[in-house]
Structure 1
Amino acid sequence: MTLDDLINQARQALQEALAARQREQDALMALREDPNLTEDAVSERVAARDAADAEVTRRQEALDGLLAEQAREEEIAALQARITPTDVRRPAYDQVARVGAEERTYRPDTDPRGARFQRDVIAAVRGDYEAQGRLARHMQEERVERAAALTGGEERAVGTGAFGGLVIPQYLVDLYAPLARTARPFADACRQHPLPAQGMTVELARVTTGTNVDNQANQHDAVAETDIDDTTLSIPVRTAAGQQTVSRQALERGAGVEEVILDDLFRAYATRIDTTMINVATVGLSAVATAVTYTDASPTTAELYPKVIEGLAGVEASLLDQASGDNLAVMHSRRWYWMQNAMGSSYPLITQPGVVPQTLGANYAEVYGRGVRGILPNGTPVIVDNNIATNLGAGTNEDEVYLVDRRECHLWEDPSAPMYIRAEQTKAATLGVLMVVYGYYAFTFQRQPHARKISGTGLVTPTFTGA
C-alpha cells in the first residue's frame, strides 16, 4: 500500500468520524424535545458526543502525520533534484546513480487545457477521495516548486496567502482578476445542518402554547393544567442557480477559461445564498428582526452602542432559557470602519472578557469573509457582511445592524452543493457549451424568533472625521 493510499484511507476515516460526531451532536440537541428527559440521559449523550470528538481528533492527527510525511518526502525529492556536486569530477553517464523527481500531477504535455484538473476540482467537491488526493499533491508541488523558483532567482512573489485556496496550475493561467463579490460571511457564521435528501420543505414543530405549573391552594385541589400545543414551521427549500454559455472556441483555444468561469459561478452562488438570507422579503433576517430605532441627525459610535445593548437585551428577553449566549453583531463594512473611527474620553464602567479597559471594542484585523472581525465593548463578536443593503430608509442611504443568537440562525445546505452541469449537446448548433451551477438550501430565524435590528437615520452613510 502506497503513502497516497494511506492518506486517502485516513481522509475517509476522518470524514466518517466527522459524520458520527455530527450524529451525536444532533442526538444531543434532540433531547430538548424529549418530555421524559433525565439528567442521566443528558450525561450519557454528552459522553457519547465527547467520545466522538476524541475520535475526530485522533483521526485528524493521523491524517496530519501522513500529510507531513508526504510533504517531507516531496521536499527531499525536490532537494535531491537540485543538488549537484561541485568539488569532484562528474562521473560518466553510465556510472552514476540517479534519484529522479516524480512528474507533476498536472502537466501541459498530458493535460494541455486543464481538463483533468477541472474534472478533479468538480469531483473533489462531490467527495471523490482520489481527486482530493491528486489536488493535495498538486498543492504540495506548488509549494515546493514556487519556493524553488524563488530561491533560484526567478522573480515571483510567494507568501503564505498564496496557498489559502486551490491554486490553478501555473501553465494554465498566469494572471487573471476575478470579479470581487460579497460572498457569504453571515451564512458561514450560521448554524449549519445537512439538507434532508428529499422534499421541498423542511418541517419543524414549534411549541406555541406551553404547559402551566401553579401553586396548589389546598390539598386535593385540582392541579394547574394547560394543554401544550405546537405549530408546524414550514421552511421552503430554495434553489440557487446560474448559467453561462461559452463558445467552444474559447474553451478549446483559451487557457483556463472554464476554470475562471466556474470559479466566478461558485462565488456568485455563495453570494446569492447570503444576500437571500439577509434581504429576502417576509423571512429574511431584515424582515423578521424586531426594529430598535436609532434616530439622530449627527450620529456617533458612542450613541449607537447603547442601541446595540438594547438589541442584545431584546434577544435574550425573547429566548430566555433557550439563549445560548453565542451572540453576533452583523454589520456592513462601512459601519464597522465608522465605529473604528470613533474617538472619545468616555468608556464603559464595566469591563468585559477579552476587551482592554478604556476601549470601544477590539479589531482583529481579519480579511473580509474570514470570520469574526472583532468584538464590541461587551464582548459580542462582529461579522462584517456587505450583502447588507445600504439604500434603506426615506433617504435611501441607511444600512442596518443585526443582533442575533448564532445557534438560532439555521442554514440547511445540500452536502454536495453547488453542483455543476456541463451540457455540450444543448448548444451544439452554435458551437456553444452550457455551464450551469446550482444547489438547494433552506434557512430560518423563526425557530425561536429573537433577532433585533438597529435601523433609522442614525445609520445613514457614515462620514469619517477627526476628533
Structure 2
Amino acid sequence: MTLAELIAQARTALDTAITARQQEQDALMAMRSDEHLTEDAVAARVATRDAADAEVTRRQETLAGLEAEQVRENELAALQARTVPASNRAPAYDRVHRVGQDARTYRPDEDRRGAQFQRDVAAAFLGDYEARDRLARHMTEERVERGDQLQRAVGTGAFSGLVIPQYLTDMYAPLARANRPFADACRRHTLPAQGMTVEISRVTTGTSADNQAAENDAVSETNIDDTALSVPVRTAAGQQTASRQSIERGAGVEDVILDDLFRAYGSRLDNTMLNLASVGLTNVATSVAYTDATPTTAELYPKVIEGLSGVEAALLDQASGDNLAVMHSRRWYWMQNAMGTSYPLITQPGVVAQTLGANYAEAYGRGVRGILPNGTPVIVDNNIATNLGAGTNEDEIYLVDRQECHLWEDPDAPVYIRAEQAKAANLGVLMVVYGYYAFTFQRQPHARKIAGTGLITPTFTGA
C-alpha cells in the first residue's frame, strides 16, 4: 500500500471518528433534557463521549504523522532531482525513473485544457488539503519524468498556462458614492404602514391675548386656524439583471451588486432631500447672500451667524437649539485651511479659545465632522450641488434646526427582491432594491442657506 493510500485511509478513519463523537455528543445533549435524569447516567454518557473524543485525537495524530511523512518524501524527491549531475542532459532511456502502472494525476487525454489543475490551484489557495496533495503528487511526477528540464533557468513567462493570476475578490473596489450623510442626521420617524401621503396639521392663525381695556370689557379673541401640510410618500428604487452564470460561477457577484444598489438608494434619497424642486432643502431655505470676489473664511463666518440668527427668529419658542450646518466637503476643508489672528470675542462651549472651530477627524458619512466657532455641528454631504450660480461653480451652506428636519422611513427599508422566474427564459436573475420615504422641512419653516459668489470653487491659500 502506498503512502498516499495510507493517508486517504487515515482521513476516512478520522471522518468516521468525528461522526461517532458527534453522535455521542448529540445523545448526551438529548439525555440532559430528560427530567428523570440521574447523575450516574450522565457520567456514563460523558465517559462514552470522552472516549469518542480521544479516538478523534488519536486518528488526528495518525493522519498528521502520515502527512508529515509525505511532505518529507516530497522534499527528498525534490532534493534527488536537484542533485542530478548537470552533464547528464540526455540520460539513457533505462536510467530515467518513469511512472509505471499508476496514471498521471493530470492527464492531457482527459483534460486537454487543464481545467482540473487550475481548479486545484484555486482550491489549494483556499485551504483544500486534497487539492494540495494532488498538486504535490503532480510535482513529484514532474520531477521524476522531467527533472533535468525543471532545473533550467526559466522565468514565469515560460509557464503562461501554469502561473495563474490570483483575483483578490474580497478587495474589490466599489463605486464611490455620496451616500446619505444629511439624511442620517435628520430627525427620524417610522413611516406609517399605509397611505401615499403624510398629513400634518400646521397652526397658521393663532389665538390672541391683550390687555383688558377696562373691567368687564371683552377680552381679546382670535379664532385659531390650521392648514394641512401634505407630505408625499416617495419611492426610491433600482434594479439590476445578472446572468445566472455570473452569479453561480462568479465569486461574490451578487453581494457586489447588492452593495452598490443599497448605496445608490441611499445617495438618491439624500440627494432628493437636498435638491428636489420646490420641496428640497435648497428650494425651501431662505437665502443669506454672500457676494465676494475674494472670499475668505473670516468673511464667511459672520454669514453663518446671520443664518443661524434667522433660524431662531423663524422658530422662536419652537427652536430646539439643536442646529446643524450642512456643507460640501470642499467647503469644509476650505474653512479648515484658514489662518489668521482674529478670533471671536465670545467663547463658546466645547471650542478652545483662539481657534476657528474644531475638526473631529471623523470619516465621510460617519456623523458630525466638527464644530464651528460658535459650537454648531457640521455635517459634510457631497450631494450638495457645486454647479450653482451664474458661473455654475458655486455650492451652498445650509443652516437648520435638526429637530425640524423630518424623515419618515420604513424600518426595513430598503427592501430587496430577488426574482428568478421573471428572467428564467434568459437565464437571468432580476435584483430590485426599493424603499418608501417621506420628508419635509416645512412643518416649521425655518431653514437658511448661504449662497452667492463667495462660495465659488475654493482656492486653498490659507485665507
Unmatched 5+ stretches in structure 1? 1-91, 100-170
Per the alignment, residue 373 of structure 1 pairs with: 369
Question: Is residue 387 from structure 1 mapped to residue 387 from structure 2 by the alignment?
Answer: no
Question: Which residue in 2 is equivalent to 1:435?
Answer: 431
CA contact (8 A) 1:391 1:397 kept: yes
Give me the whole-angstrom Cα distance separating, in 1, the residues matched to 2:356 and 2:462: 16
Structure 1 segment 147-186 matched on structure 2, within 5 A: 173-186=169-182
TM-score normalized by the length of structure 1: 0.64
* 2:15 alignment partner in structure 1: none
Q: Which residue of 2 aligns with 1:413?
A: 409
Deviations 1:188-207 (A, max 9, x none): 00000000000000000000
Distance in 1, matches of 2:289 and 2:172, equals 44
State the alpha-carbon separation in 1 of the partners of residues 389 and 414 from structure 2: 35
The 5 A counterparts of 1:297-446 are: 297-446=293-442
Counterpart check, 1:271 vs 2:267: yes
Which residue number in structure 1 is paired with residue 118 of structure 2? none
| Alignment partner of 1:219 is 2:215 | yes
Deviations 1:265-303 (A, max 9, x none): 001001111000000000000000000000000000000
- The change in CA–CA distance for 1:317 and 1:93 in structure 2 (over 3 A counts) is closer
Match of 2:183 among 181, 187, 198: 187
2:253 matched residue in structure 1: 257
- Work out which of the two has the higher radius of gyration on C-alpha atoms and give 1 or 2: 2
- Check whether the contact 1:364–1:374 (CA below 8 A) recurs between aligned residues: yes
Instruction: Please say if residues 240 and 438 of structure 1, whose CA atoms lie closer than 8 Å, have aligned partners that are also in contact.
Output: yes
Alignment of 1:438-457 (within 5 A): 438-457=434-453
**Residues 350 and 94 from structure 1, CA distance in 2 versus in 1: closer, same or farther, beyond 3 angstroms?**
same
What is the percent sequence identity of the aligned residues? 83
Give 3-state SS (helix, strand or coil) of 2:171's partner: coil
Displacement of 1:173 in angstroms is 3.7
SS in 2 for 1:367: coil
Residue type matched to 1:395 in 2?
G
Distance (whole Å) between structure 2 residues aligned to residue 381 and residue 418 of structure 1? 28
Find the counterpart in structure 2 of residue 137 from structure 1. Answer: none
Structure 2 gaps, min length 5:
1-52, 61-166
CA distance in 2, matches of 1:98, 1:230: 82
Q: Structure 1 pair 424/320, CA: closer, same or farther in 2 (3 Å)?
A: same
Work out the CA distance in 2 between the residues paired with 1:95 and 1:460.
Answer: 72
CA contact (8 A) 1:278 1:387 kept: yes
Which residue of structure 1 aligns with residue 204 of structure 2?
Answer: 208
Matched AA of 1:455: A
Give the CA RMSD over aligned residues: 1.8
Q: Deviations over 1:320-369 (max 9, x none)?
A: 00000000000000000000000011110000000011111000010000
Q: Deviation of residue 430 (structure 1)? A: 1.5
Confirm or deny that 1:228 pairs with 2:224: yes
Partner of 1:199: 195
Q: 1:427 aligns to what SS in structure 2?
A: helix
TM-score, normalized by length of structure 2?
0.64
What amino acid is the match of 1:237?
Answer: V
Cα-to-partner distance string for 1:201-241 (whole Å, 9 max, x where unaligned): 00000000000000001000011000000000000000000
CA shift for structure 1 position 174: 2.6
Quote the offset at 1:427 in angstroms.
Answer: 1.3
SS at match of 1:268: helix
Alpha-carbon spacing, 1:93–1:319, altered in 2? closer, same or farther (3 Å): closer
SS for the counterpart of 1:402 is strand
| Secondary structure of 2:385 counterpart | coil
1:155 aligns with none
Cα-to-partner distance string for 1:63-116 (whole Å, 9 max, x where unaligned): xxxxxxxxxxxxxxxxxxxxxxxxxxxxx97495999xxxxxxxxxxxxxxxxx
Equivalent residue for 1:294, pick from 290, 311, 328: 290
Partners of 1:284 and 1:311 in 2: CA distance: 18
Correspondences of 1:27-38 after superposition (within 5 Å):
none
